[in-house]
Structure 1
Amino acid sequence: MITKLSNYTLEDILPHRGNMLLIDGIVEADETYAVTTSVIRPSYPLTDSSGAKSLIMVELAAQTAGVCNGLDRIKEKGVDSSKMGWLVGIKRAKFHVESIPMGTTVVTRSENVHKYDKLREVSAVIRMGETVIGEITLQLYQL
């Protein structure tokens, strides 16, 4: 069941603030997956005049995973519960571009493929238009 997102802000769901909040919008989400949009900006880490380095996709995948896992937290513990972040390990990352041009909108879809207590394995795909530009598998653990 897709969660009614109008009830929550990104700040309700994620611990990220300021320049480290890379997600601009949530397209859809529930407690197992999320689809987000992000516009590549000069304020992002790992940027230069050519755009954002491909490694930024790891953080986009992690924050998108944070959306579905944040919604899961809200469902179980309430909106005012601790937004403590997750430790993130990169199990696999395949980048199809070296950088993403400034102003480009990317769409990230992250899904919990395994969930056990405070451990998650997340599969993410990042697209620029219809083109897949990154495929990432993350392992998350919440302290």
Structure 2
Amino acid sequence: MDTLTLSDLTLEDLLPHRGNMLLVKEIMEVDSERASAIFLVEKTWPMADAQGVDPLILVELAAQTAGVCNGWSRIQAQGRDSNQMGWLVGIKKADFFIDSLPFGASITARAENTYSFENLREVACELHMDTQLIGRATLQLFQAN
């Protein structure tokens, strides 16, 4: 199997999300342990109202960033056409430091696998808007066989 680079892959290769639920705009870096991604806050996002988007969406941004990392790992080990079932995500801890995400804002998320055993991962994620820390989350991910 040839080793693929990030430029060989699409977001859809890495994540099971489609349509309005694929929130990642750009992957900045990825390897088998960590990823960072950019998101652009849009009016079409879930939990949007007239003022912006509820910060609870930061959990989904963290999960999609973790999904990029774990999708990358799957493709490197099993190939591009391997089964890309999603992961069940549990929130171990989440802290939000903003009341609303303004439309048009650029959010950078960085996720790192802090624990990995078979189909279980624990992931730590920080989310920033420009230089401002706006959220932290610790997620637990499980993927059924």
Report the aligned-residue RMSD: 0.8
Distance in 2 between residues matched to 1:82 and 1:19, nearest whole Å: 22
Normalised TM-score (structure 2): 0.95
Quote the residue 1:9 is aligned against: 10
Name the % identity: 50
Say if 2:111 is the partner of 1:110: yes
Say if 2:25 is the partner of 1:24: yes
Distance in 2 between residues matched to 1:59 and 1:66, nearest whole Å: 10
> Which ranges in structure 2 are unaligned for 5 or more consecutive residues?
none
Normalised TM-score (structure 1): 0.97
Distance in 2 between residues matched to 1:4 and 1:74, nearest whole Å: 10
Amino acid at match of 1:80: D
Please state how far the C-alpha of 1:4 moved relative to its aligned partner: 2.8
Amino acid at match of 1:24: K
Quote the residue 1:74 is aligned against: 75
Quote the residue 1:44 is aligned against: 45
> Which ranges in structure 1 are unaligned for 5 or more consecutive residues?
none
Amino acid at match of 2:83: S
Quote the residue 2:62 is aligned against: 61
Query: Which digits, 9 at most, give the CA deviation of each residue in 1:73-117, with x for residues without a partner?
Result: 001111011110000000000000111000100000000000000
Distance in 2 between residues matched to 1:89 and 1:40, nearest whole Å: 23
